[in-house]
Amino acid sequence: MQNKRTLDDWLNWQENLMEETIVLGLDRVQIVYDRLFPNGVPFRVITVGGTNGKGSTVSFIDSIYRQSKYKIGRSMSPHLLKYNERYAINGVDVSDEEIINAFELIETKRLEVELTYFEFSTLAALIIFAKANIDLAILEVGLGGRLDSVNVVDSDISVITNIAIDHTEYLGDTREAIGREKAGIMRTLRPCICGDQDPPQSLLSYAKEIDTPITFVSKGYQDEIGLDGAHQRLNAAVAIKAVESFMDKFPVSSQMITDGIKNARIKARFEKRYIGEKTIILDVAHNPAAVKTLVDALSESPMKTVAIFSALVDKNIIDMVNLASDTIKHWYLVPLSSERAIKSKELKKKFSEPNLTTICDDMNSAIKKSLEMKNIERVVIFGSFYTIADATLIVDKM
């Protein structure tokens, strides 16, 4: 790695460092973390986990604190277009140089320890934030919670947005099993804020077992909000409760909270674009619960809608399609730039009415065909982060 200095070089190398991309467990990353931070990280931490809504909730919390004098680090995954999106300080994505410097430090400390791409990413965030002397980090959990690399940090406040079925090969195939994995980010005597409306017993039992004070949020935020969709009102309310739970260390005014919620922004969460008279919706919904939320948001303003869709092969595609089928007049199926993507011909077989689907050569042709459809008012593009990344590059040029 001595001659590989560009960010792309580092990322390509990390992707091939271990045979498997996702290897859950804290044993490896804990060793390197302890070498980097023998006394723990020098800033306070809010950790945000859950199945859906994590990114939005992180954005609301970040936006609230950015109205204040505090220096805030925000870490999210995955990125959409640029790796740098994963790390921001006071709302500004960090530079290639800062990330490369962090990777170089990790490399000097890891020695014999193998790390995954995601573990490098987590440790890099902590190094970047420590060097920037931030006051508070808001860290989004990547997958699960208990065994996710972000959980190497003892957070001051944990947030669990909701619990739904996803990543079953890693987390289990029931809400009880997944709930226990998500609950792993909780800490003894430190507040947990939960937005799940029907929390599984496993989460409640674990909170009791380790003596975590848990607050459940059931009512959505009612005032002006920066993100579209009724579901974002609940995410905003969860974010506010997390901020309120930290008032002893990071006091903020009610006006800062109001302004923060109003000014919050995040890409590809019911993100609206307009081309001519047609509305484009970009949404990273990639599991049945997220698709149900997307459909509910679409139904708030009924329009004749077509979809551009693809997904990763390990997702519950049939349920995703069935949930959206009443809302979608026609489906354009696209290949994705991921080895884990389902092939378009196999994807077509997941539809009970395959005559309502068209296989496209690429995202560009799918967008063109969808916009040419007469009497169609809206095009919704969803299915995975890869779907939205491919679409965003094209829509941005229109």
pLDDT bucket at 173, cuts 50 / 70 / 90: confident
Integer Cα distance of 373 and 389 in angstroms = 23
41 belongs to a structural domain = yes
DSSP track, 193-240: EE--SS--HHHHHHHHHTT--EEE--S---S--SS-SHHHHHHHHHHH
Integer Cα distance of 115 and 320 in angstroms = 33
| Average pLDDT score, the chain | 94
2 belongs to a structural domain = no
Q: Is residue 2 predicted with pLDDT exceeding 60?
A: no
* 61 and 195 share one domain: yes
pLDDT in tens, 266-313: 999 999 999 999 999 999 999 999 999 999 999 999 999 999 999 999
* 212 and 287 share one domain: no
CATH code for position 114: 3.40.1190.10
The 10 Å Cβ neighbour count of residue 296 is 14
Rounded to the nearest 10 degrees, the angle between the axes of helix 96-110 and helix 117-131 is 110
* 162 and 287 share one domain: no
1 belongs to a structural domain = no
* 172 and 309 share one domain: no
104 belongs to a structural domain = yes
> For the CA atoms of the chain, what is the radius of gyration?
21
Quick one: pLDDT at residue 201?
96
| Percent residues over pLDDT 70 in the chain | 98
* 255 and 280 share one domain: no
* 377 and 303 share one domain: yes
Q: Is residue 354 predicted with pLDDT exceeding 60?
A: yes
Q: Is residue 19 predicted with pLDDT exceeding 80?
A: no
* 252 and 187 share one domain: yes
CATH code for position 391: 3.90.190.20
44's torsion region: left (phi>0), alpha (psi -120 to 50) or beta? beta
Quick one: pLDDT at residue 263?
98
The 10 Å Cβ neighbour count of residue 385 is 17
pLDDT in tens, 62-119: 999 999 999 999 999 999 999 999 999 999 999 999 999 999 999 999 999 999 999 9
**What is the average pLDDT across 340-369?**
95
pLDDT in tens, 29-40: 999 999 999 999
* 102 and 218 share one domain: yes
pLDDT in tens, 325-336: 999 999 999 999
pLDDT in tens, 186-209: 999 999 999 999 999 999 999 999
Q: Is residue 26 predicted with pLDDT exceeding 50?
A: yes
Element at 48 (helix H, strand E)? strand 44-49
| Percent residues over pLDDT 90 in the chain | 90
Integer Cα distance of 281 and 228 in angstroms = 11
* 358 and 328 share one domain: yes
Domain boundary among 227, 245, 263: 263
Angle at 256 between CA 251 and CA 262, to 5 degrees: 145
Of residues 21 and 303, more confidence is placed in 303
User: What is the SS3 assignment for 280?
Assistant: strand
What domain range includes position 337? 271-395
Number of domains present in the structure of the chain: 2
* 290 and 255 share one domain: no
Whose CA is closest to 56, among 294, 227, 285?
A: 227
pLDDT bucket at 1, cuts 50 / 70 / 90: very low
**What is the average pLDDT across 250-255?**
98
Domain boundary among 232, 263, 294: 263
Q: Is residue 226 predicted with pLDDT exceeding 80?
A: yes
135 belongs to a structural domain = yes
pLDDT bucket at 167, cuts 50 / 70 / 90: confident
* 32 and 158 share one domain: yes
247 belongs to a structural domain = yes
* 244 and 336 share one domain: no
Domain boundary among 204, 236, 263: 263
Whose CA is closest to 324, among 341, 312, 307?
A: 307
**What is the average pLDDT across 355-369?**
96
Q: Is residue 124 predicted with pLDDT exceeding 50?
A: yes
Which pair of tokens denotes residue 390?
């491919």
